[in-house]
Amino acid sequence: MRKALLNDLAIFGGQVAFEERLYVGRPNIGNRKRLMERIDSILESRWLSNDGPLVTEFEQKVAKYVGVKHCIATCNATVALEILIRALDLQGEVIIPAFTFIATAHALEWQQITPVFCDIEPRQHLLDPSRVERAITSRTTGIIGVHLWGQICDVEALSDIANRHRLKLLFDAAHAFGSTYKNQHVGNFGSAEVFSFHATKFINTLEGGAVVTNDDELARKIRLMKNFGFTYWDEVSYVGTNGKMNEISAAMGLTSLESIQDFIAINYENYKRYTELLAPIPGIRMLQYDTGETNNYQYIVIEIDEEQTGISRDELLQVLWEDNVIARRYFHPGCHRMEPYLSKYPNAGSTLPVTEEKSKRVLVLPTGTTVCSEDITVICDIIAIALAHPKQLKERLRTTQPPFNRPVEVSVADAHKN
Ligand SMILES: *Cc1c(COP(=O)(O)O)cnc(C)c1O
């Protein structure tokens, strides 16, 4: 149902645009029949985990797709990061962007390594190499770049810094499966890179991840570590954890991989439609992907410039939620404003001006295989109407509590009850 007038918006009493909520990161699901056949074969063979045939096949297919020597599949990307960080013997301080999913920071903190938050550059929201250089201290042992929104970090500049300062360089490539940089696939940069195959990611294995690397010795270590350090039936030669991927996850991954071109095509169509409809709206800037490279187009990222629009990102978000468009404020408020980092470094924000600004402006809109062109038209109608009436909207919102803001004082104990 198209919307045209202020009173068409749900927040002004209009009919809610979408009966079913539209989410960011609704899973892409490939050929269900193929998936069911694979799951059946797993149950038939009773080989459910521990380097089963499907995990092995998935690792080979990922490695081939990416053009990398080794792929080690894991239970998720966070554990993959933790294992990689240990395998590379990182200690002390490691530099990461503050504008990322919290797992990048937690993977370090979990192992008593200090994440040092660094600012991003404003155009692509990627780690700013000039600022990385300034964040290096005598305790720094590594840099983790994050290929945010599937765009690739400035690999050359970061490699150069890492080499000059003898630091390890790795990448959190959770968003970037399938993306290329100078026509080389992500997965070949730094010492190693980590993919996430979480349900919300472009290619999913329900839960899952992988470390990819061209380093034989590193790959061997990681294989041991993700399987308790077992080198033989009853022989353990290394400290390890349980980071294994299971067979059903691999079945999902293999099935998803077979549809990768379709997923990209749908995401690309959605991206073009959003670009076309949002371009004429003043005060909205949509992140544009580099068309000279392969992208997965998994994220539709907009920035709202309140000075121009007269309404804030959060106000627009509230309007969208009322119409069942569950857009998201990734990565609000920034890792440095989440615990335990906020208490440890309460003033970190002063060195992170771009992160601070972006975390107030950025909004991620629904896309993927469950979102169609008509949905996008309606979403953009809502945005256009809202931005055409900033005064009335502000007045209407003054007395309504946004559904996405929780009281600030939620203790850890309370959080566990939910
Ligand atoms: C999703 C994500 C992760 C964590 O991946 P999991 O597989 O859920 O553990 C890490 N970093 C970034 C940037 C992510 O988006």
Residue to substitute in 198, 226, 252, 335 for testing ligand 1 pocket (most ligand atoms within 8 angstroms of CB): 198
- Integer-rounded Cα Rg, in Å, for the chain is 22
Q: pTM for this one?
A: 0.95
Is the Cβ–Cβ distance between 306 and 192 less than 8 Å? no
| Range with lowest mean pLDDT among 22-26, 237-241, 315-319, 368-372 | 237-241
Binning the chain into helix, strand and coil, the percentages to the nearest 5 are: 40, 15, 40
Q: Where are the alpha helices (DSSP H) in 115-203?
A: 129-135, 155-164
Residue 328 DSSP code: B
* pLDDT, mean of residues 141-170: 98
What is the 356 CA–ligand 1 centroid distance (Å)? 21
Cα–Cα distance, 180 to 191 (Å, whole number): 17
User: DSSP states of 260-316 as a string?
Assistant: HHHHHHHHHHHHHHHHHHHTTSTTEEE----TTS------EEEEE-HHHHSS-HHHH
User: DSSP states of 394-416 as a string?
Assistant: HHHHTTS--TTPPPS---HHHHH
Would strands 70-74 and 209-213 be described as parallel, antiparallel, or unpaired?
antiparallel
What is the 200 CA–ligand 1 centroid distance (Å)? 9
Residue to substitute in 82, 104, 152, 186 for testing ligand 1 pocket (most ligand atoms within 8 angstroms of CB): 104
Dmax (CA) for the chain in angstroms is 71
Percentage of the chain beyond pLDDT 90 is 93
Please provide the average confidence, as pLDDT, over all residues in the chain: 95
**What would the pLDDT profile of 383-415 be if each residue is shown by its tens digit?**
999 999 999 999 999 888 888 876 555 444 444
**What would the pLDDT profile of 303-314 be if each residue is shown by its tens digit?**
999 999 999 999
Q: Whose CA is nearest to atom 13 of ligand 1?
A: 101
Architecture of the domain defined by 32-258: 3-Layer(aba) Sandwich (3.40)
What is the 288 CA–ligand 1 centroid distance (Å)? 22
Q: Which of 32, 10, 76 is nearest to 369 (CA)?
A: 32
Ligand 1: does its nearest atom lie under 6 Å from the Cβ of 77? yes
Q: How many angstroms separate the Cα of 78 from the Cα of each of 110, 211, 227, 301, 372?
A: 10, 11, 16, 23, 31
**What would the pLDDT profile of 90-133 be if each residue is shown by its tens digit?**
999 999 999 999 999 999 999 999 999 999 999 999 999 999 99
What is the reported pLDDT for 407? 59
Ramachandran angles phi, psi of 372, nearest 5°: -110, 175
Ligand 1: does its nearest atom lie under 6 Å from the Cβ of 119? no
Residue spans per domain, the chain: 6-27+260-327+366-417, 32-258
**What would the pLDDT profile of 236-271 be if each residue is shown by its tens digit?**
988 999 999 999 999 999 999 999 999 999 999 999
Q: CATH topology of 6-27+260-327+366-417 equal to that of 32-258?
A: no
User: Right CATH number for 6-27+260-327+366-417 from 3.90.1150.10, 3.90.470.10, 3.40.605.10, 3.30.365.10?
Assistant: 3.90.1150.10
- Can you state the angle between helices 260-278 and 373-388, rounded to 10 degrees? 30
Ligand 1: does its nearest atom lie under 6 Å from the Cβ of 106? no
